[in-house]
Amino acid sequence: MTTETTSAAPTPPVLSVAMVTLGCARNEVDSEELAGRLEADGFLLVDDPAMADTVVVNTCGFVEAAKKDSVDTLLQAADLKASAHQGGRAQAVVAVGCLAERYGKDLAASLPEADAVLGFDDYPDIAARLRSIVAGEVHHPHTPQDRRLLLPISPVDRAASTAAVPGHGDVADVTTVGLGGPATGPRAVRRRLDAGPMAALKLASGCDRRCSFCAIPAFRGSFVSRRPSDVISEARWLAEQGAREVFLVSENSTSYGKDLGDLRLLETLLPELTAIDGIDRVRVSYLQPAETRPGLVEAIATTPGVAAYFDLSFQHASATVLRRMRRFGDTESFLGLLAQVRSYAPEAGVRSNVIVGFPGETEDDLETLCDFLVAARMDVTGVFGYSDEDGTEAASYDDKLDEDEVRARVEHVSGLVEELNAQRAEERIGERVLVLVESLEEDADGVVAEGRGAHQGPEVDGTTTVTDLPAGTRVGDLVAAEVVATDGVDLVAEALPVERSAR
């Protein structure tokens, strides 16, 4: 009698991966989706790229400076691989994100230092892709295409599409440690990479607008809203992971719900999000002025738990320039919108971006913009000089200004904005602010907190330093304070006594 023995298939080695994220908060969400998929498939996530078998760089492809930063980061990761014999581990460097999606095989050909360039369609199978790349298999990058063509023209027909939409995740019952243990309901595939008290949350992806200077819709695709139930489920999960503020991100939040049959869906979603246990503040990003309806202004400005914060993409104030940009509005309508905001919330935060040096911009157009900025009294304004972007309508325009003139106009407007933003900060002296504590440190006067008031969005809108903190203050607390000084757009505040903080 003979006995047959069978041996189990060898367990594949555990591979470590480091995610390096560039660009906006939308990219941060995409990276956390990729991290969730990888961890669920057995990858070990590490913070230090030098200690990772695979370095995944989530690139930005928005403007020239961001593209350069992405390429430089990929080259730095490739250097780690080249020096792996000196103690590092990197076996593969992989590009994902907007730059990879936008340029595909062209990026791969121009950057042989990267082992692979993956597009958005690779995201659902990211773990299998990385394993094959580490094993030495050659990945053939995609030929870039206009991702708007992947979805139906009619927004209401898009829900049935199977096209990959980064950051929306597969909503399913997931039971991995990276997602907080056994699922109790629908969970988005995501793994937090930052333990801070603020977390970005995808509201939608893509854009249906056709701004003549912007290439984003071509590589991000048409506008697709996430279902409210998915947004709420992920917000609950984020609260369980320690998030106290959720930052709703998209390419155009004012369009939320139009493809779900209800353009006022955001107004009804906001109070549902603020009712989630553990979520103390909800913030909305990227509002398109031409679509910012009165009901949405009221909802953001007056709903308890929602930051009175208006991220309005004005881009310019001259009606002539705006028409060439394929946008709508003018100084009068924009100031009317701001007056409406401040009628509900006089202390509301307002930020925007503007483009100067756009083809055909005259001295009078520039003066119109500057006059608007003076009258608008915004907290923060980003100033960008125009440059041609591949595949955009504006790249074909005549009447382009030379680079020196664009640079001079950027310097002029930036100087004006710096002064105006500092003045607006000074207007807040004596104001009560509710600060989300993001870090604590000790100095000669005791423990000091750094965080953000309701008018300050993450990363780009300045911070508030709070002194005289109540005993036991922790990261993630909301502390009421009074502004006593400023440093540019940054504020210095003193914590109010607890009895006054509670009001």
Residues annotated within the binding site for [4Fe-4S] cluster are: 24, 60, 98, 207, 211, 214
- Residues sharing a CB contact under 8 Å with residue 428, sequence separation 6 or more, in sequence order: 347, 455, 483, 486, 491
Burial status of residue 3 (CB atoms within 10 A of its CB: 0-12, 13-18, 19 or more)? exposed
Task: List residues bridging with 385 in a β-sheet.
Answer: 356
Q: Which amino acid is at 298?
A: E
Q: For residue 222, what is the DSSP state? A: S
Terminal Cα-to-Cα distance of the chain (whole angstroms): 84
What count of other Cβ atoms lies within 10 Å of the Cβ of residue 395? 15
Q: Evaluate the CA torsion angle 33, 35, 37, 39 in order and state its sign.
A: negative
Angle, in degrees to the nearest 10, between helices 331-344 and 294-302: 40
What count of other Cβ atoms lies within 10 Å of the Cβ of residue 156? 10
Q: Cα–Cα distances in Å, from 263 out to 130, 246, 467? A: 40, 21, 43
Task: List residues bridging with 202 in a β-sheet.
Answer: 249
For 43-194, strand residue ranges (E) read 44-45, 54-59, 92-97, 116-117
SS3 state at 438:
strand
Q: Which residues are annotated as a binding site?
A: 24, 60, 98, 207, 211, 214
DSSP string, 229-262: HHHHHHHHHHHHTT-SEEEEE-S-GGGTTGGGT-
In the block, residue with structure tokens 């907080």: 180
* Residue 253 backbone phi and psi in degrees, to 5: -70, -25
SS3 state at 280:
coil
Of 392, 389, 310, which is closest to residue 344 (Cα–Cα)? 310
Burial status of residue 257 (CB atoms within 10 A of its CB: 0-12, 13-18, 19 or more)? buried
